[in-house]
Structure formats: C-alpha cells, structure tokens
Structure 1
Amino acid sequence: MSESDGSSGDESTVTVTVVDGDTTTALTATRGTVLRDLLLDHGLSPYSALTERLNCGGRGLCATCGVRLHDGPEADHWHDRLADRFGYPRLSCQVTIDGDMTVRLVEDKRVWGGRE
C-alpha cells in the first residue's frame, strides 16, 4: 500500500482508496471534490491510452472516464444510473466525493469499458 497523503482527522476530509491493478493507493480528499479531478491531480488516470487526450474534460458527455465504485455515492447522473443498472463503469467526472470510498480503475479499458 502506498500512501499519498496522511489523513488529518478533519471531518471535511475523507479517504479514497484507489485500486489500480496490483497497486492500492490511499488518497485524502476534501468532501465535494469531483473524483476525476482527484485522480488526475494524483497522477491516476481514469482514461484509456486513446482517451487520455480525447475526452470532454469532465462534462459527462464522452463516457470515457469510467471507474468501478465499491462503496461510493448513489448514482445521480443519467449515465451513471444506467451504468449502475447494467454493470458498466461509473463516470468519475460525475461522482462527487462525500465519504470514504474505494475505487477500482478499469483494467483493459477500451473506450468506454466493458460490462461487469
């Protein structure tokens, strides 16, 4: 386990555990932060090699920043509700961090990610 930030014990911060293949990283995030922004700020990309540069910039339009949430907030974006229902990755740009969560970056990602 590699630790990027230490937890301050502050109620406005939470821990986001990111699983990327065999690597697990614990990040401290401020409540209200967008998950996509947190990942990119720490050098963890929710994108595939192709969509790293070709994406909508976090507006929820291209569906290329998919991640698997294991204990995150309920889906409230239309795409995330459908993704949750049919087993597709959730859009990290549409997930607002409101508590501790575990996120798995999608391995073998093509453009949108496959069903689970």
Structure 2
Amino acid sequence: MPIVQAQGRAIACETGANLRHVLLQQGIELHNQHSTIINCRGLGTCGTCAVEIEGEVSPQNWREQTRLALPPHSAAQSRRLACQTQVLGNVRVTKYNGFWGQGSQPVWTAEKSGDS
C-alpha cells in the first residue's frame, strides 16, 4: 500500500486512489481561504486543489494539463491537481499559499501542518 505524507501525517491508501479523496477523508484541507466555496468538487476545472507532489503518481490527463496551463498557474511551478491525480506509490505532498495554491510559501508540507 502506498503511503501519502501530508500535514505531518502518513496515510496508507490503495494503489490508484484519488489523492483529493485520500486527503479530504483524513480531514486535510486542500483549499486556501474562500476557495473552498468555489471548488469544482473534483472535476478538474477550478484549479484550487493544486499541490506539489514528490513521488509516484499518474501522468497528467488533458483536463489537468489544460487547467494548469491557465493563469494564475504556471507549468514552471510543478503543481498538480489533487483531484486528477492517482497515487501509484509513496508520495509527499505540499500545499502552497494563494487563493489557487499558486503561491511560493508553503501552507503545509509533508512533515508539518500549517499549525506547527
């Protein structure tokens, strides 16, 4: 079973599990500020669940590529949409600031919650 590290926690999940579902089921918030109100609930259209991922995950699909190509996101940031990402092996997740998660300051990392 793959292990997802996020907010200082290690979460076991099934291979192929959707990263957004894994994190939300554990109470790990993926949306900054009021972006939780407008999030697309996993359709891959809003871009608010953008995170940085280290580890083995599925390749980007067309929906994710399209959304991350639009501002305020940038391909240079190496962000992924949690809602479009399947966990294939152990991963480490970092959430950044900014309404869309496009900022440069971590909100939480694999090792630390935002409260630490």
Q: Cα distance, 1:112 vs. partner?
A: 4.3
Deviations, residues 58-85 of structure 1 (Å, cap 9, x unaligned): 0101111011102232532233475684
* 1:113 aligns with one of 95, 102, 105: 102
Q: Who is 1:10 aligned against?
A: none
The one-letter amino acid paired with 1:76 is: Q
Using a 3 Å threshold, how does the CA distance of structure 1 residues 86 and 74 change in structure 2: closer, same or farther? farther
Q: Who is 2:89 aligned against?
A: 99
Q: Whose Rg is larger?
A: 1
Contact 1:48 1:111 in 2 (8 A): yes
Tell me the distance in 2 between the aligned counterparts of 1:14 and 1:68: 17
Greater RCO between the two (CA within 8 Å, min separation 6)? Answer: 2
Q: Who is 1:3 aligned against?
A: none
Q: Which runs of 5+ in 1 are unaligned?
A: 1-12
Q: Cα distance, 1:97 vs. partner?
A: 0.8
Number of residue equivalences: 99
Tell me the distance in 1 between the aligned counterparts of 2:21 and 2:95: 14
59-68 vs 71-80, greater mean Cα deviation: 71-80
Q: Cα distance, 1:45 vs. partner?
A: 1.2
Higher strand share: 2
* 1:70 aligns with one of 54, 69, 81: 54
Percent identity of paired positions between Structure 1 and Structure 2: 24
Q: Flag as ranges the 4+ runs of structure 1 deviating above 4 A.
A: 80-84
Tell me the distance in 2 between the aligned counterparts of 1:96 and 1:103: 13
TM-score by length of 2: 0.72
Structure 1 position 39 matched with structure 2 position 34: no
Q: Which runs of 5+ in 2 are unaligned?
A: 106-116
